[in-house]
Amino acid sequence: MARPISQENQNKWALQPEQKVFLAVLLLVLVVFYCTIHRSFFLPSHDDLSNPSRTPNPFVVEIDGTLLSPAIHTFPTQVGITEVLLKAGISRQMIPSEDSVPPLRNGTRIVLSQSHEGLDIRIESMDAAKKILYALPLDLNGVEADELTLIPGIGPTLAKRIVGYRDAKGRFNGLEELLNISGIGRKKVRSLRRYLFVENGLLPNP
């Protein structure tokens, strides 16, 4: 038969109020430390973020032509032709005024050559494969079927359906119109938001 614990032994192991407070504070510190070390576990993943603009894409410009070696330059924000050409190695004396060149867009390709008048500049759009590589979306109203197949989840058959629908309607007014195409549901449209956009169109609700 077990011997009963005496009152003296119970008092021996009983915690004093200040000891209880100390243990509570210690426990709180340990919890905060654990959450700090493992904070990535508690944060939402990139795919769960409702606002993809929280991690904006860089401003990407490609330089090509006969004057310089082909190169792709990235900037943290939108820039003008002067800043791009200076970074590419063109002297300031050769660079035309900003007003003489259309505003650059993300994914612009600048083709440079020498003419009798000076520097000849041609503004184009980067190749679709390069845009996808730099996480730049493609315009749904300008992309071709073979370029659509570069996007994960779009095969040749679905790409032809998308282009066929666009040809029949004239243009897409928003990404939500993709739902009218066989083989595309809301889940598919959500996955395509990072790869496609519609100029002056509305993105579909997630």
Contact 148, 101 (CB under 8 A): no
Q: Which residue has the tokens 């190695």?
A: 89
Domain end call among 125, 150, 170: 125
What is the model's pLDDT at position 45? 35
What would the pLDDT profile of 25-77 be if each residue is shown by its tens digit? 566 556 544 544 443 333 333 333 333 444 467 899 999 998 888 999 999 99
Average pLDDT, the chain: 80
| 93 and 149 in a common domain | no
For residue 105, give its domain range. Answer: 55-125
Confidence of residue 134 (pLDDT cuts 50, 70, 90): very high
Question: Does a structural domain hold residue 92?
Answer: yes
Question: Does a structural domain hold residue 183?
Answer: yes
Question: 73 or 118, which is more confident?
Answer: 73
Residue 89: CB partners within 8 Å, gap ≥ 6?
A: 68
* Residue 166, domain CATH: 1.10.150.320
**Strands 108-115 and 59-65: what pairing?**
parallel
Contact 196, 158 (CB under 8 A): no
Rg of the chain over Cα atoms, rounded to whole angstroms, equals: 30
Q: pTM of this prediction?
A: 0.63
What would the pLDDT profile of 146-190 be if each residue is shown by its tens digit? 999 999 999 999 999 999 999 999 999 999 999 999 999 999 999
| 148 and 114 in a common domain | no
**For residue 133, is pLDDT > 70?**
yes
**For residue 198, is pLDDT > 50?**
yes
Question: 116 or 3, which is more confident?
Answer: 116
Q: How many domains is the chain partitioned into structurally?
A: 2
Domain end call among 104, 125, 146: 125
| 103 and 143 in a common domain | no
Average pLDDT over residues 114-122: 85
Question: 159 or 101, which is more confident?
Answer: 159
**For residue 7, is pLDDT > 80?**
no
Tell me the H-state helices in 134-206. 145-148, 156-169, 186-192
| 103 and 61 in a common domain | yes
Beta strands in 23-65 (DSSP E): 59-65
Question: 14 or 82, which is more confident?
Answer: 82
Q: Which amino acid is located at 198 in the chain?
A: V
| 143 and 120 in a common domain | no
Question: Does a structural domain hold residue 34?
Answer: no
Question: Does a structural domain hold residue 132?
Answer: no
